Structure formats: C-alpha cells, structure tokens
Amino acid sequence: MTKSLLSRIMLSCLLITAACSAVLGLVLSASYNSQYRENNLQLLTANARRAADAAAQNYIDNLGVYIDAGLLSNQIRPLAQAIGADIFLVERSGRVALCSEGAVCRHASYLVDPAIMAKALTGVYTERGGFGGMYDSLYMVAGVPVVADGLTLGVMFAAAPDAGPMRFSDEVMRSFITAVILIAAMLVPPVYMAASRINRPVWAMAQAAEAFARGDMAVRMPVADYEETKTIALAFNNMSASLSDMEASRRSMISNISHEFKTPITTIGGFIDGMLDGTVPAERYHHYLEVVSREVKRLSRLIVSMLNLARIENGEMTFVRQPVDINELIRLTLFNFEMRIEEKQLDIRGLDSERLMVEADPDMAHQVVYNLIENAVKFAPKQGYIEISHTLEGGMVAVSIKNSGAGISKEEIPRLFDRFYKSDTSRSMDKSGVGLGLHIVKSTLHIMGGDILVKTVEGEYSDFIFSLPAHRDKPASSIFRKGDKLPGNYIPREVE
C-alpha cells in the first residue's frame, strides 16, 4: 500500500511530537524524583533531629543516668507515625536501644554497621539503600547524633521505604501523557492544513510529470509560493519548453529532410522514366541528363552537409589551430565566384586590406567564408555590391561580409541559423541550397572559438559579421558572447 506525502508528513509530525514529549517527560520525571527524594531525606533528617533533641533532653532530665522508656510512647512513636517512617535510637556500640515499632522490633536483631556508626556519630548521615543489609528493599535513611552535655550517647535514625517517588512519578507521567494527548489533538488540524498546502503543489507536479511522460509536451507545472517547489516547477517548465522546442525542431527537420530529398528524387525518377518509356525524345536526352546531374549533385551536397552537421553536433569535428590570413582566404574564395560576379556586374569593395592573421582551422575557415560569400553573391541584386571589412577588438577579429539587396525581415532573423531553414525568398531565388549552410557556419565558428551575427535593413543590405581569435599565443574569447562553452573538440597543434 502506497503512502501519500500528506500522510507521511502527518505521521512524522505526530512521531516527532510523541518523541519530544517522551524525552521531556523522562527529564521531568527524573527531576521530580530527585527533588522528591531530596525533600524526603530532609524530612527524615529534621524528624530524626527532633527525636534526638527529645532524647538528649530526657537524658538530662534524668540527671544524666538514663533515657526514660516513656520517651518512646510519648514522642518518638507519634513522630514516626506522622511521617510514615521508623525512628530508632542506636547506642554507640551499634545496638538498637529504642524503636518506634515497640518491643517487637526488627532492628533489635541487628547491629548497625560500625562504618555507618562512625560516620553518623560525627555528623548528619543520609543514605539511599539497604542500610548495611538491615533492609531487603530500598530505603531512605537519615541519622543525627544524640548529644547531651557534650556527651555523644548514640545516633537517632529515621528510615522510610523509597517507594513513594515511583508512585509520585507514575502520577506525574499519567498527567503528562494526558496533556500530550490534548496537545497532539490541538496540533493535528493546523499541521494537516499546513501539510495540505505543501502537498498540493507536489501533487500537481506529479500529475504534470505523468502527463509529460505520456507525451504531452505542452503541460506546465504550477509555480507555488514555496521557494523549493517554485525552483522545481520552474526547472521542470524550462525543461518542458526546451524539449517541446526540440521535438518541434525534430519534426521540422524530418519534414525538411523529406522535402529536400523528395524534390530531386522525384525529378530524377520522372526524367529517367520518361527516357525509358519513350516519352522524352532522344534528342532531349542530353538536356534532361544535365538536369538529372544537377539534382544528383544537389543530393550529394545535402548528404555531405548532413554528415558534416552530424560530426559537428556529435563533437567529432576536430580543430587544427594555426595562423590563417583571413583577408587572403576571402580574396581566393571570391575567385571561385568570378563568373557569377561578372554576370551580375557586382562591385566588390574592401579587397585592398592588409594581411590579417587569425587562429583557425584552414579548412573550417574556408567553409565559413565560402558559405557566406556564396550567400552574398546569390542575394546581391544585379549591379549591386559586396563589401568586405574587418575590426580588431579584445583579441578577436570581426569580419563583415555585406551585400546590397532586399535584406532580411525581422521575423526571419531569429531562425536564420536553424537547421534546414530557408526563407521564401531563398527558395524562389535558389533551388540548389539545402538550408544547412548558415547552421554549419555558426556551429563551425563555435568550434574555433568564434561567433556570428547578422545586421540587416530591409530593402537595403544584409551584413553577416563573424569573429575569430586573432593570432597570438593565447586564444581569446568571443566578442559576441564572452564565456560561452564551445561545442566540439578543441585540439591545439603546432604548425608544422
């Protein structure tokens, strides 16, 4: 049988209350017993002193010859009965001379232990025990020397059973237990209410977790007032939102992959089937085979990009650190697009920059520059421009690749670097892209300790600015998000 948190809290509170009450009861009982015994010993001592004074006075009244036996019936016995004790006079030799029990006295057959007598004759004697074997049970005993005219005649003892404190303790414990029960009954309602308030958000969290386990990614935990449950709820809600985004990203990625593969495969299959069944005339074979070739190359680029992306996200991409002239790399990359630049009559600005060394992997840096320049050439309008510039700040080199054109809308900017994201403008202007270029660029820059951001004005320009550590002994942090944890493996190597 499972136990709820509420029942556990209630049971724990009751057990703690009972345990604390028991400890307190034992401490009070021990204190009361000690005080009671102390009071009893003081009472016995006081009455033994009265009996001793009466015996001394009787001895003096009888001219120092004897102690009158009438003392027993007139003073000692009533005194003993009043306090419920035995009072008896013991001679210096240890023999009992007078006893409140009368002629038949159980003490008469005993000689008091000489060690006890030696202590009692010199001052007040108290004991809690068997009085040297005279008693079979626990007794409290007090003794006072009897002194008359400077002569010590003996010792007057008063003894009472030590059973009173136990009966007194039992009564205290019964009263104490009754009080504890009443206190517990008074505590149950407020404790139950407090436990219920604590249990409600926990129960709500449990239900939210169950719904989340069933696949309901939209569920959120209520944020309670308690700091602990509030922290848990916020952490769960953040996790839920993150997983929801991941799930949406996964579905979008599958949809995009399906779309990107379906289009070229459908094109390839359609043209080949047309050739095989004679729908496409033989003189058109070359034209359609060129289309098939382009689509095959597009599939190849998609597969290579996906493999590179997988290597980056799995941390398998290694970084060979060495100095790279980023301006020279940009100039060499621009030569790859010479024909397209001339076709569009683009104005290339900023190629007269001096040598600028960064710490980077040459292949990775080339991939970054190639993708950004390819996009700039692709989206720059005819007779537009591409402008290259750089700045040095905080040990980082920031390189700007800016192109004139339609720019990017504010709605698209947050998704530019997502996997497989392609704007409508991109899809209409370019059929060869796979929507992974900018995502790979950003991931690659992170591996090398850099970053990328975009500035744009719709209808005017788009400006992609990426950063890499400047060439020096120690790599620097990014000027965009300082202190970010970088993905992938960073393997510094010396240039051979």
> pLDDT per residue over 203-236, tens digit each?
777 777 777 777 776 777 666 666 666 777 777 7
- Give the span between the Cα atoms of 99 and 67, in whole angstroms: 13
In this structure, what token pair is assigned to residue 149? 């005219």
- Residue 403: which of 444, 369, 374, 364 has the closest Cα? 374
State the DSSP H helix or E strand holding residue 15, giving kind and residue range, or none if neither. Answer: helix 5-61
- Give the span between the Cα atoms of 58 and 62, in whole angstroms: 6
Question: SS3 for 248?
Answer: helix
Share of the chain above pLDDT 70, in %: 78
Q: Token pair 């007794």 is at which residue?
A: 139
Average the pLDDT over 479-491 and give the result: 37
- Give the span between the Cα atoms of 66 and 64, in whole angstroms: 6
- Residue 388: which of 377, 401, 397, 369 has the closest Cα? 401
> Under CATH, what is the fold of the domain 315-491?
Heat Shock Protein 90 (3.30.565)
Query: Where in the chain do CATH 3.30.450.20 domains reside?
Result: 5-166
Query: Where in the chain do CATH 1.10.287.130 domains reside?
Result: 227-310
- Give the span between the Cα atoms of 308 and 302, in whole angstroms: 10
Cα dihedral 479→401→301→434 (10° resolution): 90
Q: Is the pLDDT of residue 3 over 60?
A: no
Q: Is the pLDDT of residue 479 over 50?
A: no
- Give the span between the Cα atoms of 367 and 448, in whole angstroms: 12
Q: Is the pLDDT of residue 249 over 70?
A: no
What pLDDT sits at residue 163?
66
> φ and ψ at 132, to 5 degrees?
65, 25
What pLDDT sits at residue 235?
77
CATH architecture under which domain 5-166 falls: 2-Layer Sandwich (3.30)
Q: Is the pLDDT of residue 496 over 50?
A: no
In this structure, what token pair is assigned to residue 488? 């992938």
Average the pLDDT over 299-304 and give the result: 73
168 or 270, which is more confident: 270
Q: What is the mean pLDDT of the chain?
A: 78
> φ and ψ at 66, to 5 degrees?
-155, 170
What pLDDT sits at residue 169?
56
Q: Token pair 């947050």 is at which residue?
A: 414
Cα dihedral 166→172→174→176 (10° resolution): -140
- Give the span between the Cα atoms of 170 and 173, in whole angstroms: 5
Question: SS3 for 126?
Answer: strand
- Give the span between the Cα atoms of 372 and 485, in whole angstroms: 24
- Give the span between the Cα atoms of 481 and 361, in whole angstroms: 21
Crossing angle for the helix pair 227-276 and 285-313, nearest 10 degrees? Answer: 160
Q: Is the pLDDT of residue 488 over 70?
A: no
What pLDDT sits at residue 312?
65
Contact 466, 398 (CB under 8 A): yes
77-130: per-residue pLDDT in tens? 888 888 888 888 888 888 888 888 776 677 777 888 888 888 988 888 998 888
CATH architecture under which domain 227-310 falls: Orthogonal Bundle (1.10)
458 or 496, which is more confident: 458
Query: In the beta sheet, which residues pair with residue 156?
Result: 89, 144
Of the ranges 258-262, 382-386, 437-441, which one carries the lowest mean pLDDT score?
A: 258-262
- Residue 385: which of 347, 416, 340 has the closest Cα? 347
In this structure, what token pair is assigned to residue 431? 């059929």
4 confidence band (pLDDT: 50, 70, 90): low
Q: How many residues does the chain have?
A: 496
Give, in order, the Cα–Cα distances in Å from 346 to each of 85, 106, 327, 383, 401: 125, 133, 19, 5, 14
Highest mean pLDDT among 55-64, 244-253, 368-377: 368-377
Share of the chain above pLDDT 90, in %: 13
